[in-house]
Structure 1
Amino acid sequence: MADNETTPLMAQTSGRHPYVDEDEQKGPKRIAAAFFVIAAETFERLAWYSVSGTLFAYLTKQPLCLSDSHASAVQFMFNAVTYTCCLLGGVISDSYISRHVTIIIGYILYYLGYILLGIMSKYDDMKDSRNSSSNTYEGIKCESNVSDGDWRLSVSLIVFALFIISMAAAIVKTNLPPFGAQQVRMYGVTHSRRFMTWYFWGINLGALIAYSGFSMLEERRSFAFGYLIAFSVSLSLSFLLFLLGMKLYIKRLPESRFVVKDIFKVICNAQKVKRDNPDIKEEWLLEYSNMAKGYPGAECTFQEIRDTKNICQIFKVVLLMIPYWICYSHIIGNIYQLQGLHMSLGFPLRQPTIFPITNCTSRWQLLNSTLCDSVTNATYLEGYTSSKDSPITAAVLAIFDNIFILVFLPFAHTFYKCLTARNFVIYTYRRLVTGMIIASLSILAAGAIETVRLQNICELGVQVQFIDFTYYLAAPSLNILWQTIQYCLAGASEILFTATGLEYAYIKSPVHMQGLSMGLFWFSIGIGNFIGLALTSIFQVTNRINCGFLDVYFYALAFFLGICTFIFYKCSTYFHLGLHRMIILPLPPEERQVFSTNS
């Protein structure tokens, strides 16, 4: 049982750390190095979200004119590949290439991907400008204004550019957090957690600027112009800031061997000891490796055994996290945004025309309605609300998630300390479970709003909205600002779940396997995105949204996450996962010997 795991892994020392010299004790170089990493990550996320946040709109407009389901699939795949490839980037930096060199390689790949994407988006804008009818209509098959050969080539090259960007993002995302935390690791758990907090804060600051600034810029000007700014300004600033801190960084050399071999070595050794000593009765397999000194056949050191146990615990925890990421993929994907596109933008400069639906008394009648099949272009042009008439757009609304995190994240640990002072200790598992519960509430709120939206359409009809060169049929009296509820709840769940998981994966990991542990954490997000893509493809919730059952889908997701939250809680209290501990970061003496400081 893990119920008695209430003691720290190692007592936190007071005063000067015995392994920190006088120059390092002053700390300005370490703080400056951490600052350069956080600043580089902020601008890197700004560049990444400038693509991710507007990708759906870019793919569904002329001249590409992908359907909502295909554009949604590309969006999910872009996120999924980004996260799943993190595992590869982490293992490479741990085993063969030093972490800072791996990050530089990631930036080079970033440049290649953005250059190709910028060229293709500019080429598409030139083709689009040659055709006067470049608007698309929801409910009507979008016909691309280019030949099939050009269309296939454009889509293929854009997908290839997105793949390069996702690979680059995976490499940078995996290695920047442990590299930055390594700069302050020697000062103990307080500095490490503080770095992770501000690192996550920087991520959301970049997302906020991208959603509020770049989405408007790309809508008002062009996607090519927005991608050019993201490439030439944001990404270049990120790379420059990272390079400026190069002389300040602590650079750890790679192991020059495949670090995963150690894990298989310990597991195989445990199986061998168990087979050769049948008189030993242990419940957990890895406990057999602890008998290395007392029984024949054991060849592993205690350090290897301890590291393997920690990695195995991290692996079990990230597996239990996957249900959360399945549900959260619908938030960071485009499902929330798609819902917002079909709600009233509010503040129109002119009164929109509302088209009533006859003989509709319940939202369930919309399932058999001809609404989604009977709209013509003339209907759209009779009267519509343009996104240029309103300061609110669906992409901009996602910033409420980021604003909530930016405002409350710096005070999270102060809040935890206040609760601890009142004898309510915020163990790791409690933060994770609470984050999952709040995420369920966010999805429930989205489901309730969707039910009201569909009922509003049934009772009043639909109004036409013009957003990102596409006409949408929206609920006439349900304002898009109602979505702030679900976005703020999503932000609260991120503070408790994502930030805590990031801390856990770093602090629990062995020093020479930090890339692997962070890769496992991000990899679980990628698996969740792939499963989320499969669910949306199977149930086709993005098709015929005004005549579908998206609200029922949201309710089912919330129920699923609620069940998985209970399973997560029971597993965290039964299995030895290190989630009951107040993790205090140890600093083994040998760790100081593997650092090479270039200052």
Structure 2
Amino acid sequence: MRLLAKTHERERPWPPLQPLGSSIVSDAEAPLLNDEVDGSIDFTGRPATHSKSGGWKSAAFIIGVEVAERFAYYGISSNLISFLTGPLGQSTAKAAENVNVWSGVASLLPLLGAFIADSFLGRFRMIIVASGLYILGLGLLSASAFLFPFNDSDCQKASDSSACSPPQLQVVLFFFSLYVVALAQGGHKPCVQAFGADQFDEQDPTEFKAKSSFFNWWYFFFCAGVLVALTILNYIQDNLGWGLGFGIPCIVMCLALIIFFLGTWTYRFRTHNEDKNPFIRIGQVFVRAVRNWQTTPTVISTEEEAQGILPHEGIQQFKFLNKAMVMPDGSKKDGRVCSLDDIEEAKALLRLVPIWATSLVYAIVFSQISTLFTKQGVTMDRKITSSSRLQIPAASLQSFVSMAIVIVLPIYDLILVPVARAITRKPTGISMLQRIGIGIFFAILSMVAAAIVENKRLQTAIEHGLVDKPKATVPMRVWWLIPQYLFFGVADVFTMVGLQEFFYDQAPGELKSVGLSLYLSIFGIGSFLSGFLISVIEKVTSRNGRTSWFADNLNRAHFDYFYWLLAGLTAASLILYIYFARSYIYNKKLVV
């Protein structure tokens, strides 16, 4: 018989239908034990089984929720700079700064959301709470646009510029709503993807391979939702009104919450050790290692031998943390020492830091997609054909990133991975770190293409005497921008998905949501760095009456210089990344 004791019910949804820890598996149920998923329960609180829970049937509901959430989020973020420079009347530099700050906050808040989920609520409950906040924020955002409609033609006719200034109430309501959406995303984003990955058993060979594919198809459908948002919502916002353009995402999030509830009976919920909070356990490793700084290597070696720990790369790396195994005098008084497992988890987090840091420049490049790339497109000929009157919304050009991902991801998962798997004998084909590095290289190509095209656009403006006519359309087809979007789409297939899988798999077992929030924080910090870089460059380049690289008149600005700078920074970061990736020690549980 097997006693199911000491399993924590933190991940179980409410209401608690059956007290966990009180049931005993009978002899008649013994043949079914092999079907159980270790460390997971189902909705009723019973041990989860491979046949009745989890896998792709559960992942399908969760992916559906993610598609809806990304549709809503990108429906706001992709065209945000147009709203700020239009109805809110901000300058290009100020609007880009506000977009970067908001994106940064939205990408850093998952750290808070993941902490609350992994420590208190659990992923299931956090997703429900975050969805409610999403609906609230999007509803208020739509109200801010409906209550204060913007008419561009009336503003152009007005002689007094103050007549076009938005009411202060609208500005306050808009930014309050915007940051409620950021808060909602902070709880939603790390938990949904981690909860989806939880549906696959790492100990089962078939589900282990399926989990690697899950990250690929997750991002495939993620981008499908973004593609719809960019092609439909941006058109509605530019042509039918911002109120409707913000209202549709609110309705979609209501549907997403219903979809999530429909899959409840198929989900697996991770159980956790209830002895001590994982944050406390890992934090104590660092605290005790610092307190024991005087402990000699001899004492540590003696303790390692006593525990039967064989020398290996993991134990030799960050050796100062091994001091947490003993007291300064070599004793174990009052049990105030850390276990080897706790120390290994602390080291696992430290190993993530160099990869996290060297990915920040990639995130800075990522920030340009919805800001400067969009402003480039606004100045160009956006007619579908030379004789057509229908214009493509500049923000919809971001759909080419999604198109590239939707096309390349299936090729990668169905063709390239099996071929690489046959060559390398690795379940994932190539390692996660190799995949990330390939994407960073494509990001460099994107910046190079953007710089070349922007230089061509400026030359065209000069040739046609449009330098001092910022409102005039530069006679250069917007299709010139497609290569920079496509290159970055390919970069995302490798780097973005690689980072998601890497930070989920390499994070300690009870901190999977935190692992994904660390991945998201890369883009949060990257947005802040992008805003900071733009602010500094604008101040430096506009000194002594000179024209800023980010002047409101884009025909006198120099986005091309900025793109060349980013290409150089990305190349330098790739060199550092390769150095750290080559020396990275994977967690022992992984097969890579």
* TM-score of the pair, normalised by structure 2: 0.80
Query: Which residue of 2 is the match for residue 101 of structure 1?
Result: 125
Compared CA separation, residues 408 and 277, structure 1 to 2 (3 A): same
Tell me the equivalent position of 2:170.
Answer: 154
Query: Could you say which residue in structure 1 is the equivalent of 2:186?
Result: 170
* Residue identity in the other structure for 2:516: M
Q: Which residue of 1 aligns with 2:446?
A: 442
Say which of 472, 482, 485 aligns to 2:483.
485
Query: Structure 1 stretches (4+) deviating beyond 6 angstroms?
Result: none
What pairs with 1:67-216 in structure 2 (closer than 5 Å)? 67-125=91-149, 128=150, 133-135=154-156, 143-145=161-163, 151-186=167-202, 187=204, 188-216=207-235
1:49 matched to 2:74? The reply is yes
> C-alpha distance in 2, partners of 1:260/1:484?
45
- 2:456 corresponding residue in structure 1: 452
Q: 1:32 to 1:214 in 2, by over 3 A?
A: same
Question: Which amino acid letter does the alignment assign opposite residue 296 of structure 1?
Answer: S
8 A contact 2:467–2:556 mirrored in 1: no
CA contact (8 A) 1:30 1:248 kept: no
Aligned-partner SS, 2:255? helix
Q: Give the deviation of 1:453 after TM superposition.
A: 0.8
Task: Render the CA deviation track for 1:46-90: whole Å, top value 9, x for unaligned.
Answer: 11111112211122224x222222222221122111101110101
Matches within 5 A, 1:338-353: 338-347=375-384
Give the alignment's Cα RMSD to 1 decimal.
3.0
Partner of residue 355, structure 1: none
- How far apart, in 2, do the equivalents of 1:112 and 1:51 lie? 14
| Conserved? CA contact 1:94–1:255, under 8 Å | no
| CA–CA separation in structure 2 for the residues paired with 1:176 and 1:136 | 48
User: Are 1:223 and 2:242 counterparts?
Assistant: yes
Q: Structure 1 counterpart of 2:471, which letter?
A: Y
| Matched residue SS, 2:472 | strand
Which residue of structure 2 aligns with residue 336 of structure 1? 373
Query: What stretches of structure 1 of length at least 5 have no aligned partner?
Result: 1-15, 351-387, 466-470, 586-599
In structure 2, give the amino acid aligned to 1:571.
Answer: F
- Larger RCO (CA under 8 A, 6+ residues apart): 1
Aligned residue number for residue 309 of structure 2? none
Q: Which runs of 5+ in 2 are unaligned?
A: 1-32, 39-46, 302-315, 539-548
Q: Is the 8 A contact 1:98 1:253 kept in 2?
A: no
Match of 2:510 in 1: 512
Contact persistence 1:456–1:475 (CA under 8 A): yes
Instruction: Give yes or no for the alignment of 1:584 onto 2:585.
Output: no
Match of 2:41 in 1: none
1:542 aligns with one of 546, 550, 559? 550
Residues 203 and 191 of structure 1: is their aligned pair in 2 closer, same or farther, counting only changes over 3 Å? same
- Structure 2: distance between partners of 1:26 and 1:561: 46
Shift of 1:173: 0.4
Q: Cα distance 1:258–1:28, how it changes in 2: closer, same or farther (>3 A)?
A: closer
Question: Contact (CA 8 Å) 1:342, 1:472: kept in 2 or not?
Answer: yes
- Counterparts of 1:38 and 1:260, CA distance in 2: 29
Question: 1:474 matched to which residue of 2?
Answer: 473
Structure 1 pair 273–76 and aligned structure 2 pair: CA distance change class (3 A): same
Segment of structure 1 superposing worse, 521-530 or 286-295: 286-295
Query: Per-residue deviation at 1:142?
Result: 9.2
* Contact 2:54–2:268 (CA under 8 A) maintained in structure 1: no
Q: What's the counterpart of residue 318 of structure 2? A: 284
1:106 and 1:172 in contact (8 A); partners too: yes
CA distance 1:136–1:95, change in 2 (3 Å): farther
| Matching residue within 246, 263, 279 for 1:245 | 263
Shift of 1:178: 0.7
C-alpha separation in 1, matches of 2:441 and 2:521:
22
- Residue in 2 that maps onto 1:5: none
Q: How does 1:254-269 map to 2 (within 5 A)?
A: 258-269=277-288
What is the CA-CA distance between 1:432 and the residue it aligns to? Answer: 1.5
Q: Pick closer, same or farther for the CA change 1:513–1:458 going to 2, 3 Å.
A: same
What letter is aligned with 1:531? L
User: How many Å separate the matches in 1 of 2:157 and 2:435?
Assistant: 45
CA contact (8 A) 2:359 2:573 kept: no
Post-superposition shift, 1:29?
A: 5.2
Distance apart, 1:542 and its partner CA: 3.3
Give 1:428 shift: 2.4
Matched-pair contact (CA < 8 Å) for 2:364–2:530: yes
| Offset of residue 520 of structure 1 | 1.2
One-letter amino acid of the structure 2 residue matched with residue 444 of structure 1: V
22-31 vs 247-256, which moves further: 22-31
User: Secondary structure of the residue that 1:166 maps to in structure 2?
Assistant: helix
Deviations 1:379-414 (A, max 9, x none): xxxxxxxxx823433222111100110111123233
Helix, strand or coil at the partner of 1:546 = coil
Residue type of the partner of 2:482?
A: T
Distance 1:427 1:17 in 2: 30
CA contact (8 A) 1:324 1:561 kept: yes
CA shift, 1:434, in A, is 1.3
2:331 alignment counterpart: 296
Of residues 276-285 and 433-442 in structure 1, the stretch that sits farther from structure 2 once superposed is 276-285
- Residues 552 and 91 (structure 1 numbering): CA distance in 2 closer, same or farther, change over 3 Å? same
The corresponding residue for 2:26 is none
Cross-structure match for 2:354: 316
**Percent of aligned pairs with the same amino acid:** 23
Q: In 2, Cα distance between the equivalents of 1:328 and 1:240? A: 32
Paired AA for residue 269 in structure 2:
K
